[in-house]
Structure formats: C-alpha cells, structure tokens
Amino acid sequence: MLQPITIHDKQFSLYIPERRIQHSVEVVAARISHDYRGKQPLFLAVLNGSFMFASDLMKEMSIPCEISFIKLSSYADMKSTGKVKEIMGLNQEIEGRHVVIVEDIVDTGNTIAGLLPQLREKGVASVEVATMLIKPECLEHNLSIKYPAISVPGEFVVGYGLDYNGLGRNLRDIYKVM
Ligand code: 5GP
Ligand code: MG
Ligand code: MG
C-alpha cells in the first residue's frame, strides 16, 4: 500500500499514475493531430497549471503546431462580472488561427466560459479546448470541451502541474485529497 503524501496541512493519496496520464495525453494528441491535419493549430496554454500537460501534448503531436502561453487575471473591480478574466501575455496574432486552449482542469467552467468569447472577438478561425482533467459533475456552463484527457469526480487533486497553495506541481502522478 502506497504511503499518502503530505502537502502543507493535507494528506493526498495516489489517484492517477504517470503511465495512465501519459497514455491519455497520447490519445488526445493523436485526436488533435488527426483533426487539425493541414491547419497548423495554435495551442494557447493557460498558465500556471497547464505547463506540464502542454509540454507533453506538444511532444506527442504529429503535425506542425505552435504554442503560446497566457495568464488570466480577474478584473479587479467588476464585481457583477467577477468571472471575466483579462488575457495577459497574448503576444501572438490569433485572428484567423485555429486555436486550441490548453487547460490543466475544467471545474466549474468559469475560466473557459470567460475566455471563449474573448478569443472569438479577436476573430479566431476556430477555438476548441484540450484539458488534462475535467470534473463533469462540477460544470456550471453549457460548454463543449472537445479534448478532455481524463474525467474525475469533484474532489481536489494535485500533481502534474496542479498545485495546492503553490506546492505539488512537480509531481509526476496525480493525487487526490484524503
Ligand atoms: P474553473 O472552475 O474555472 O473551471 O477552474 C478554475 C481553476 O481552478 C482551474 O484552472 C484550476 O487552476 C483550479 N482548480 C479547479 N479544480 C481544481 C483541483 O481539483 N485541484 C487544483 N489544484 N486546482 C483546481
Ligand atoms: Mg487552469
Ligand atoms: Mg491553483
């Protein structure tokens, strides 16, 4: 029996081992490579959590593709639309591009629901979402997430890019809180 790990004040148990993660990433990369043949997609990885998934996904792609990294920051004083996030670091022209958003996890869907209209406003040719993890039972928006790697229940997870108060991102496996 594997020992739980401690991060800050909480204990976590192994949930998704590295080999299953890698297999799921390969499957998603193969699907995207197939769907975007001849289109040279632009991946937009949402920092910080997606850095590891984005890296592994890129390595498994079998077609030419580009990547850019963005951060999202909430508008400070827009209480009524507190979920709207400003895109930071988008230094690439995305008009006319086939964009694939790369996320670590889709939980409520607020982040993606806020991001999609902003990208469409900038005139992308198409936009889809690839996410390492999705919590279907937590989704609060009618979103179509085309490339989810692994579905998980609504429990807090860390590892493979995901953190608990700054720690745990470097873990090769995914752990869930006990
Ligand atoms: P949303 O609710 O907008 O879909 O997800 C927002 C963000 O919450 C995610 O990008 C991720 O950073 C964080 N998040 C949601 N669920 C979890 C989780 O189980 N573990 C960790 N570490 N972060 C999560
Ligand atoms: Mg995220
Ligand atoms: Mg976090």
Supply the CATH number for residue 99's domain: 3.40.50.2020
Which ranges in the chain belong to alpha helices (H)?
18-35, 51-60, 110-121
Residue 145 Cβ contacting ligand 1 at under 6 Å = no
62 CA → ligand 1 middle, Å:
29
110 CA → ligand 3 middle, Å:
14
Answer yes or no: is 141 within a domain.
yes
Instruction: Read off the amino acid at residue 52.
Output: M
pLDDT tens column, 132-165: 999 999 999 999 999 999 999 999 999 999 999 9
Listing DSSP states for 127-178 in one string gives EEEEEEEE-GGG--S----SEEEEE--SS-EEBTTB-BTTB-TT-SSEEEE-
161 CA → ligand 3 middle, Å:
9
165 CA → ligand 3 middle, Å:
7
Q: How many domains does the chain have?
A: 1
Answer yes or no: is 2 within a domain.
no
Answer yes or no: is 169 within a domain.
no
Would you call the peptide bond into 165 cis, given omega within 30 degrees of 0 as the criterion? no
pLDDT tens column, 24-74: 999 999 999 999 999 999 999 999 999 999 999 999 999 999 999 999 976
The reply to whether 104 belongs to the active site is no
Residue 109 Cβ contacting ligand 1 at under 6 Å = yes
Candidate list 56, 104, 107, 173, residue with the active-site label: 107
Residue 106 Cβ contacting ligand 1 at under 6 Å = yes
Answer yes or no: is 14 within a domain.
no
Answer yes or no: is 6 within a domain.
no
Answer yes or no: is 122 within a domain.
yes
* Residue located nearest, by CA, to atom 8 of ligand 1: 107
Answer yes or no: is 44 within a domain.
yes
Given the cut 0.90, state whether the ipTM is greater than it.
Answer: yes
- For 29, the domain range is 19-152
Answer yes or no: is 27 within a domain.
yes
CA of 109, nearest ligand number: 1
pTM of the model: 0.95
